[in-house]
């Protein structure tokens, strides 16, 4: 589609009415496959001719319907996603793919499947260790998904179409890296809030439209003159899935730039590409199981403890250096087991680099904003006083 | 000519204003209440009257505390973390750790060279705060001061196992029904809150001197219980209620001094002394 109003305007439109483009495409006969988390192998969905669509929650909407099927021990993000789904917000979905990303996602698969009752539902039994045995198992799992989705599509997913989809998604990721890289300058050419919105918008559209939208956004942002004289602390946000811009805006409104992240959607899922391999499943399996550094995957212990921490969190150190980060905000949802487990280790790793860390535990709700503001402002004052 | 600086600390329970030159020249403590947007200027007016000053005599006003954004006449807003750090560092220069027990929150601050370098705050519930003490004191039919004093007379060790304020209140009521002495329950309550605060501040690696401030510092029983938990002697801030406001005034003074050193003009809000409205 042609974009007249500029990339950011379209980004705003997609963020304001999340899913509006998928709804349109559905009207044109496309099939939409929803999924939770960055561990849905979107390349396979694209190769089948479907539109992969990331289900998101809403921090501004109280969870009212989901409480019947999901107790509060389930993480608030998953509950919010499900709440919107049972309220009919994602009525355009033809299918649902749930990966074993974390327990909150895995153990609610039955609830999703039987409550929504979509024509297609599939569970991806993703292993939790990054070793080679798990990798072999995971390749089988991906092939099972490929066959199952091919059956739903009424045609087998060929190697060629899969390779084509992998190349497209790699190109999409390269565009995100280019856009996110515009935060290296001081001040950054794109604010953390704008980037967050762009990344939320592209979760809801087909990959070919995402590539074109990101191209427009880059063309719009790149010529911006880097304003001078305004010195603000450069912040990196580390956390699980942050599919809302409220928290990023809070940090930037408090007098800082969010210049780097280890988030989804964010660098975690857009930095690693899938290699083009003879069997396309090999490259995909390596990308999802080994290259994406998410707390949900257990890394085999190697070497000394500092070496092990470097293996797990070295990429965070890389961003801190590359994007000249002054301070890190570790932002974790209550009841997020995988990220909760890692807090002491990731905190001590970042502090060992001499970078201050603010650890915040939050509830995936706008209601906590006042409390967060005091902590964020205090952290920025502390960085400014150095 | 003497330069005066004002610190306005709007806490969840109390609004505190100090006016300082080299030392504090006026201090006013009032209840915040739901109308704190309207009250900040009245508390300020009463402090000015005490000091015999007009608002134009004040060189800089810093607002802090949870209501800090509702002080339109302030030149700058600074969080209570930085203000408590600055206030306590000036009141007790040897301080390395600050524990502030407020009405609605509780925080630990690590100090280095008179500045905050790290902090922790309690999250989203009343456990470990003044509100917890108020609720339990009410259940025991005591004032806060009475509960603190009475706990020192206790003969037995009682455990209150719930940290949730509502459940702890139920537990206290049940123990009263069993015939447990009120003094012993008061000790149990102080131990419970001390455990909670200790669990939070130890993440900072507490170092001496440790200074307790905020309304909770006025409760001797609680300070004793916290000393036992931490295994360290505690110093009570000489100005438990005003540490934040004093810090705010001093940070205002620092701002004016830094600007003068750099030879740049001080940016002031230029808002008159009047109450905040919902539209300002």
Alpha carbons A156 and A133: distance in angstroms, whole number: 27
Is A385 in contact with B79 (Cβ distance < 8 A)?
no
Q: Domain residues for A136?
A: 18-162
In 3D space, the residue among A244, A192, A213, A198 whose CA is nearest the CA of residue A84 turns out to be A244
> Is residue A353 domain-resident?
no
Contact partners, residue B16, CB within 8 Å, separation at least 6 = B7, B8, B9, B10, B27, B28, B29, B43, B65, B241, B242, B244, B245
Could you report the per-residue pLDDT of A303-337, keeping only the tens digit for each?
A: 999 999 999 999 999 999 999 999 999 999 999 99
Cβ–Cβ below 8 Å for A381 and B124? no
Reference B6, options B221, B210, B242, B280; nearest CA is: B242
Residues of B in contact with A371 (CB under 8 A): 123-124
Q: CA-to-CA distance for B225 and B151, rounded, in angstroms? A: 10
Cα Rg for chain B, rounded, in angstroms?
20
Q: Which residues of B touch A381 (CB under 8 A)?
A: 78-79, 81-82, 116
Contact A21, A204 (CB under 8 A): yes
Would an 8 Å CB–CB cutoff place A351 in contact with chain B?
no
Distances (CA, A) of A328 to A237, A319, B170: 6, 11, 41
Yes or no: say if A198 and A179 are a contact pair by the CB < 8 Å rule.
yes
What residues in A contact B121, CB-CB < 8 Å? 374-375
Q: Select the CATH number that applies to the domain covering B4-83+242-262 from these four: 3.40.50.1010, 3.40.640.10, 3.30.420.40, 3.10.20.30.
A: 3.30.420.40
Name the phi and psi angles at B170, rounded to 5. Answer: -60, -40
Bridge-based pairing of strands B106-112 and B115-121 is antiparallel
Angle at B26 between CA B21 and CA B27, to 5 degrees: 125
Cα–Cα distance measured from residue A78 to residue A74, given in angstroms and rounded to the nearest whole number: 7
- Selection from A210, A329, A314 nearest residue A270 by Cα: A210
Contacts of A356 in chain B (CB under 8 A): 118
**Helical H runs in B33-92?**
36-51, 80-91
Residues of chain A falling short of pLDDT 50:
1-3
pLDDT at position B276 is 66
Going by the DSSP 8-state scheme, the letter that residue B104 receives in this structure is S
Name the CA dihedral angle for A33, A34, A38, A43, rounded to a multiple of 10 degrees: 10
Question: Could you tell me if A382 lies within 8 Å of chain B, comparing CB atoms?
Answer: yes
Burial of A245 (0-12, 13-18, 19+ CB in 10 A): buried
Tell me how far apart the alpha carbons of residues A150 and A281 are, in angstroms, rounded to a whole number. Answer: 15
DSSP one-letter code for B65? S
User: How far is A128 from A132, CA to CA, in rounded Å?
Assistant: 12
- Rounded to 5°, the CA angle A80-A81-A87 comes to 85
Whether B4-83+242-262 and B94-236 share one fold: the answer is yes
Looking at residue B273, what is its pLDDT? 82
Residue A39 lies in a domain: yes
| Residue A77 to residues A37, A62, A114, A197, B18, Cα–Cα distance (Å) | 10, 11, 20, 18, 44
By C-alpha distance, the chain B residue nearest A360 is: B123
**Residue A188 is encoded by which pair of tokens?**
């950054």
* B9 close to B43: Cβ distance less than 8 angstroms: no
Q: Which residue of A has its CA nearest to B79?
A: A378
How far is Cα A306 from Cα B17, in angstroms, rounded to an integer? 49
> b or e along B8-33 (b: 16 or more beta carbons within 10 Å of the residue's beta carbon)?
bbbbbbbbbbbbbeeebbbbbbbebe
Q: Which of A100, A80, A71, A98 is nearest to A18 (CA)?
A: A80
Helix H or strand E encompassing A357: strand A357-362
Say how far apart CA A206 and CA A150 lie, in whole Å: 18
Instruction: Report the run of H or E that residue B24 belongs to, with start and end.
Output: strand B24-31
Residue A146 belongs to domain with CATH number: 3.40.50.11890
What residue ranges of chain B have pLDDT lower than 50?
A: 279-280
- Tell me which DSSP letter residue A287 carries: I
Q: Is B189 helix (H, G, I), strand (E, B) or coil?
A: helix
Q: Does residue A187 have a cis bond before it (omega within 30 degrees)? A: yes
Mapped onto helix, strand or coil, the DSSP state of residue B7 is strand
Residues 108-147 of B with CB under 8 A from A: 115-119, 121, 123-124
The residue to which tokens 């590409």 are assigned: A273
Mark yes or no for CB contact A374/B123 under 8 Å. no
- H or E stretch covering B224: helix B220-230
Partner residue opposite A382 with nearest CB, options B117, B121, B124? B117
Contact (CB<8Å) B79/A368: no
Tell me the domain boundaries of chain B.
Answer: 4-83+242-262, 94-236
Enter the DSSP assignment of A66. G
Number of domains within chain A = 1
Q: Which residues pair with B61 in a beta bridge?
A: B6
The pLDDT assigned to A3 comes to 43
C-beta of residue A239 within 8 angstroms of C-beta of residue A263 = yes
Q: Give just the sign of the alpha carbon dihedral B80, B41, B277, B105.
A: positive
Buried b (16+ CB within 10 A) or exposed e, A114-125: ebbebebbbbbe
For tokens 């599939």, what's the residue?
A: A122
What is the model's pLDDT at position B128? 73
Alpha carbon distance B280, A16 (integer Å): 28
Task: Return the closest-CA partner of residue B189 out of B120, B121, B241, B140.
Answer: B140
Contact status of A110 with chain B (Cβ, < 8 Å): no
Tokens of A197: 């919105």
Q: Closest Cα partner for A11 from A172, A214, A152?
A: A214
Pairing type for strands B24-31 and B14-20 reads: antiparallel
Q: Are strands B58-64 and B4-10 parallel, antiparallel or unpaired?
A: parallel
CATH homologous superfamily for the domain B94-236:
ATPase, nucleotide binding domain (3.30.420.40)
Burial group, residue B141, by CB count within 10 angstroms (0-12, 13-18, 19+): exposed
Largest CA distance in chain B: 70
Query: What is the pLDDT, as a whole number, of residue B19?
Result: 97
Bridge partners of A33?
A: A52, A95
Nearest by CB to residue A371, choosing from B81, B82, B124, is B124
| Sequence-ordered alpha helix ranges (H) in chain A | 7-16, 20-27, 42-47, 76-86, 103-106, 109-116, 132-153, 159-181, 192-201, 207-221, 246-253, 267-270, 280-286, 305-322, 337-352, 369-384
Facing residues of A175 across strands? none
| For testing contact with chain B, the best of A76, A343, A382 (most B CBs within 10 A) | A382
Q: Does residue A109 form part of some domain?
A: yes
State the sign of the Cα–Cα–Cα–Cα dihedral A263, A265, A270, A275: positive
């Amino acid at each position: 589609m042609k974009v007249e109003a500029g990339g950011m305007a379209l980004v705003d439109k997609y963020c304001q009415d999340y899913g509006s483009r998928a709804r349109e495409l559905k009207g044109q006969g496309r099939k939409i496959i929803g999924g939770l988390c960055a561990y849905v192998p979107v390349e396979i969905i694209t190769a089948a001719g479907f539109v992969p669509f990331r289900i998101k929650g809403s921090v501004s909407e109280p969870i009212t319907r989901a409480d019947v099927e999901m107790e509060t021990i389930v993480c608030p993000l998953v509950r919010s996603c499900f709440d919107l789904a049972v309220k009919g917000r994602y009525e355009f979905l033809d299918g649902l793919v749930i990966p074993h990303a974390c327990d909150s996602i895995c153990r609610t698969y039955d609830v999703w499947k039987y409550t929504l009752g979509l024509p297609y539902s599939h569970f991806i039994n993703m292993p939790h260790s990054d070793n080679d045995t798990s990798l072999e198992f995971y390749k089988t799992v991906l092939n099972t998904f490929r066959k199952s989705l091919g059956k739903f599509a009424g045609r087998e997913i060929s190697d060629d179409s899969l390779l084509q989809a992998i190349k497209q998604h790699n190109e999409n990721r390269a565009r995100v890296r280019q856009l996110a890289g515009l935060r290296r300058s001081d001040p950054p050419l794109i604010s953390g809030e704008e980037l967050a919105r762009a990344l939320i918008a592209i979760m809801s559209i087909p990959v070919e439209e995402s590539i074109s939208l990101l191209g427009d956004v880059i063309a719009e942002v790149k010529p911006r003159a880097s304003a001078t004289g305004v010195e603000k602390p450069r912040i990196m946000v580390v956390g699980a899935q942050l599919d809302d811009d409220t928290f990023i805006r809070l940090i930037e409104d408090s007098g800082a730039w969010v210049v780097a992240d280890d988030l989804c959607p964010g660098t975690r899922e857009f930095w690693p590409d899938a290699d083009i391999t003879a069997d396309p499943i090999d490259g995909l399996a390596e990308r999802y199981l080994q290259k994406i550094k998410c707390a949900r995957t257990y890394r085999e212990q190697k070497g000394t403890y500092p070496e092990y921490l470097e293996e797990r969190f070295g990429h965070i150190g890389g961003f801190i250096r590359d994007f000249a980060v002054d301070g890190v905000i570790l932002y974790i949802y209550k009841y997020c087991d995988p990220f909760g487990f890692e807090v002491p280790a990731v905190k001590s790793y970042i502090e060992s680099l001499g970078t201050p860390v603010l650890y915040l535990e939050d509830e995936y709700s706008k209601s906590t904003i006042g409390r967060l503001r005091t902590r964020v402002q205090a952290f920025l004052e502390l960085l400014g006083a150095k | 000519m003497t330069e005066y600086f004002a610190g306005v600390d709007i806490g969840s329970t109390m609004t505190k204003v100090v006016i300082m030159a080299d030392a504090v020249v006026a201090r006013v403590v009032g209840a915040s209440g739901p109308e704190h947007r309207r009250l900040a200027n009245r508390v300020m007016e009463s402090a000015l009257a005490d000091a015999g000053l007009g608002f134009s005599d004040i060189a800089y006003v810093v607002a802090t505390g949870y209501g800090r954004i509702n002080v339109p006449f302030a030149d700058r807003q600074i969080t209570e973390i930085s203000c408590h750090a600055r206030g306590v560092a000036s009141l007790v220069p040897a301080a390395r750790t600050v524990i502030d027990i407020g009405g609605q929150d509780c925080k630990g601050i690590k100090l280095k060279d008179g500045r905050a370098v790290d902090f922790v705050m309690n999250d989203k519930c009343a456990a470990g705060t003044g509100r917890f003490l108020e609720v339990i004191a009410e259940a025991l039919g005591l004032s806060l001061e009475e509960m603190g004093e009475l706990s020192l007379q206790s003969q037995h060790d009682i455990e209150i196992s719930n940290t949730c304020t509502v459940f702890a209140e139920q537990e206290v009521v049940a123990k009263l029904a069993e015939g447990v002495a009120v003094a012993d329950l008061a000790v149990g309550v102080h131990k419970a809150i001390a455990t909670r605060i200790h669990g939070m501040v130890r993440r900072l690696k507490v170092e001496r001197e440790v200074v307790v401030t905020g309304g909770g510092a006025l409760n001797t029983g609680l300070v004793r219980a916290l000393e036992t938990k931490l295994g360290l002697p505690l110093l009570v801030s000489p100005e438990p209620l005003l540490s934040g406001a004093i810090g705010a005034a001093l940070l205002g003074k620092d701002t004016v001094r830094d600007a003068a050193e750099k030879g740049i003009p001080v940016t002031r809000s230029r808002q008159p002394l009047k109450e905040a409205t919902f539209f300002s």
